[in-house]
């Protein structure tokens, strides 16, 4: 054998020599429960209370998860309605100042609607007419346009 093999065998032997023996087995005897009846009842009440609290926490967590799920689904649905609509208006706003002004008005409203912060926003009649007269001239998604009419309302 070469030196490398010998060193390897010596290293393995040293590691095996360094293994400690197992711990000794200890026999234990449980002590008798000598608490009074009141202490036992208190412990049982505490245990039951903790179990109820745990159940309540689980119910609350599942309820919160359900609410978050519903919120996210609604957010996604609303965002999908307006995604293409806003993209088209933004694209046109780079060339038309009137459209840019309208975009700057409706974009935060739509964003707040998608995030479920507001359900509608009211404007005076002149602003309302200005917004929708300009938007009518743009070929865009009719569903988003109709939904926008339910969000932006006249005073």
Q: What is the pLDDT of residues 106-142, one digit of tens each?
A: 999 999 999 999 999 999 999 999 999 999 988 888 8
- Rg of the chain over Cα atoms, rounded to whole angstroms, equals 36
Please list the residues that pair with 154 across neighbouring strands.
Answer: 123
The pLDDT of residue 2 is above 70: no
The pLDDT of residue 45 is above 70: yes
Which of 118, 102, 99, 101 lies closest to 110, judged by CA? 118
Q: What is the pLDDT of residues 28-43, one digit of tens each?
A: 777 787 888 899 899 9
Q: Name the strand (E) or helix (H) holding 154.
A: strand 152-154
Indicate the average pLDDT of the chain.
88
Whole-angstrom Cα distance, residue 64 to residue 89?
36
Q: How far is CA 55 from CA 17, 58, 59, 84, 85, in A?
A: 52, 5, 6, 45, 46
Whole-angstrom Cα distance, residue 4 to residue 68?
63
pTM (2 d.p.): 0.67
Whole-angstrom Cα distance, residue 73 to residue 64?
14
Q: Looking at residue 108, what is its pLDDT?
A: 95
**pLDDT tier, 89 (very low <50, low <70, confident <90, very high otherwise):** very high
């Amino acid at each position: 054998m070469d030196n490398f093999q010998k060193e390897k065998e010596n290293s393995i032997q040293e590691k095996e020599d360094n293994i400690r023996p197992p711990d000794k087995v200890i026999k234990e005897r449980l002590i008798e429960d000598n608490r009074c009846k009141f202490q036992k009842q208190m412990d049982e009440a505490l245990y039951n209370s903790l179990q109820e609290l745990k159940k309540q926490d689980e119910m609350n967590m599942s309820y919160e998860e359900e609410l978050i799920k519903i919120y996210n689904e609604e957010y996604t649905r609303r965002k999908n309605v307006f995604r293409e609509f806003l993209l088209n208006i933004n694209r046109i706003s780079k060339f038309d100042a009137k459209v840019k002004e309208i975009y700057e008005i409706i974009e935060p409203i739509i964003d707040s609607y998608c995030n479920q912060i507001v359900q509608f926003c009211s404007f005076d009649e002149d602003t309302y007419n200005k917004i929708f007269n300009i938007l009518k001239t743009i070929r865009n998604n009719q569903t988003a346009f109709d939904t926008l009419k339910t969000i932006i309302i006249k005073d």
